[in-house]
Amino acid sequence: MREEGIHNHKLQYDALILRFSGEIGIKSRPVRLRLEKRIEEIVKRELTREGIKVLGVSKFLGRLIINTPEPIAAIPRLTKVFGISSLSPALRTSSNLQDIVEASLRIAKGLLRPGSTFAVKCRRVGSHPYRSPEVCRRVGEAILNGIGRDVKVNLDEPDTSFSIEVRGADAYVYVENETIKGPGGFPKGSQGKVLCLLSGGVDSAVALWLAMKRGCYPLLVYFDNEPYTDDTTTQRAVEVAKKLSEWTQGFCNRVYLVPHGNNLKEILDRCPRRLTCILCKRMMYRIAEVLADRLGAEGLLTGEALGEQASQTLHNLRILEQAIVKYPVHRPLLGFDKDETHKIARLIGVYELTARKVKECTAAPEKPATKASIEDVLEAEERLDVDTMVRKTFEGIVVRRLDRDFSGT
Ligand code: ATP
Ligand code: MG
């Protein structure tokens, strides 16, 4: 998802080819068209927001083609649009064979180094006075004759691979090496809303991104455990949320901040220490359930991964889930190893932020239960006025806008 290596020649590309995720292509026609239309709308809106001139947009063969004088400038925003699997800046020309040859040669002149190898591929839709192999041959010959730098053809492992896509009266030439990976997935909003429990740590950030990637509209909730954490913890969560909101083009522009410290104090005062985290999480789930109900979400989402923490054993996840009845808890990281999570975090640009040192929750016990019995948990909760705690906490929720200054709520 980087655009490095595209500025390595002076050529001015004038189009961008966006490929839809492969999974979109295998949907039924009405679903496919709906998803593609949605991506097209998002892309157009993003280009307008970036102030990029669009001279035309067309669709063919699972691709969206944008004619624009500034394709390179469009790339950073469009690599954050879900539903796009890859992007290639291209040179647009007519489907006249001589024009194709000249356009290809212009690219090759700026790009091929002495002694390097290349290949040419062609895909063609429509009726033309030539066939694809002829295009490859003519372009190949023109490059060999026109460059004069000892370049060679290598169809198996070329240093540079030219692709030509001919469609009706138009043709596009691009270099496969300059193709940039998109995030894939489905366009935002193609699924319903999910309420994400975002802690500011790496797991929930990646879990949230994975849900967005599959088309969910994320709603964000953070539980503020002050005085057991402090403002560094909250600030980090808000910044992580803001960073992630780039992937929904500003859709998730708020975080619900839940004052959870008093609940934690009650739990610490009245319940066995080894159950603190489980009881705290069960309260989080309950409050999140009420919020999900209020916001019209379809489910809750967490960054829990099997066995990662004492509260994340298979057994304890069951105990957690028994606290709520109306919503499923989605855990996209259930089977992830930590290094897999970190890899995605780096890719989406949240790794450093989530690794920032903050005050970790001081209420966590030294010896947490890894296999809490439901009887013990229910007995502990008898000592709490759970319903009142949930109601009071809910009344204290504050909405923090992400598109405003962090210091204000
Ligand atoms: P993370 O890296 O997301 O902090 P973790 O592996 O450190 O997760 P826990 O602290 O046990 O694990 O939290 C498990 C999940 O519970 C988190 O991924 C997140 O979804 C949710 N969660 C935990 N603490 C909070 C919080 N303060 N606010 C919102 N959600 C939270
Ligand atoms: Mg954590």
Residue 142 pLDDT > 80, yes or no? yes
Identify the band that residue 375 occupies on the pLDDT scale cut at 50, 70 and 90: very high
Cα separation, 197 vs 204, whole angstroms? 7
Residue 84 pLDDT > 60, yes or no? yes
Q: What tokens appear for 127 in the block?
A: 């009726």
For ligand 1, whether the C-beta of 316 sits within 6 Å is no
pTM for the whole structure? 0.92
| Average pLDDT of the residues of the chain | 92
Atom of ligand 1 nearest to the CA of 308: 6
Q: Which of 349, 355, 331, 81 is nearest to 211 (CA)?
A: 331
Closest ligand to residue 311's CA: 1
Tell me the domains of the chain and their CATH numbers: 15-181 (3.30.2130.30), 193-401 (3.40.50.620)
Residue 4 pLDDT > 50, yes or no? no
Say which residue the tokens 């934690």 belong to: 264
Identify the band that residue 283 occupies on the pLDDT scale cut at 50, 70 and 90: very high
Residue 407 pLDDT > 80, yes or no? no
Which residues in 39-77 are b (16+ Cβ under 10 Å) and which e? Answer: bbebbeebbeeeebebeebeeeeebbbbbbebbebbbeb
Q: What is the pLDDT of residues 111-135, one digit of tens each?
A: 888 889 999 999 999 999 999 999 9
3-state DSSP call for residue 223?
strand
Residue 37 pLDDT > 90, yes or no? yes
3-state DSSP call for residue 324?
coil
Nearest CA to ligand 1 atom 10: 199
Say which residue the tokens 């057991």 belong to: 228
Say which residue the tokens 């919020």 belong to: 291
Residue 255 CA to ligand 2 centre (angstroms): 17
The conformation of residue 100, written as its DSSP 8-state character, comes to H
Identify the band that residue 8 occupies on the pLDDT scale cut at 50, 70 and 90: very low
Residue 284 CA to ligand 2 centre (angstroms): 14
Residue 287 CA to ligand 2 centre (angstroms): 19
Residue in 195, 199, 283 to alter for ligand 1 test, most ligand atoms within 8 A of Cβ:
199
Identify the band that residue 89 occupies on the pLDDT scale cut at 50, 70 and 90: very high
Residue 251 pLDDT > 50, yes or no? yes
* Cβ pair 306, 334 in contact under 8 A: yes
Closest ligand to residue 309's CA: 1
For ligand 1, whether the C-beta of 198 sits within 6 Å is yes
For residue 74, give the H/E element and its range: helix 71-78
Atom of ligand 1 nearest to the CA of 311: 11
398-401: strand order across its sheet? 329-330, 299-301, 193-197, 217-224, 254-259, 398-401
Cα separation, 232 vs 271, whole angstroms? 28
Report strand pairing: 299-301 vs 193-197. parallel
The conformation of residue 5, written as its DSSP 8-state character, comes to T
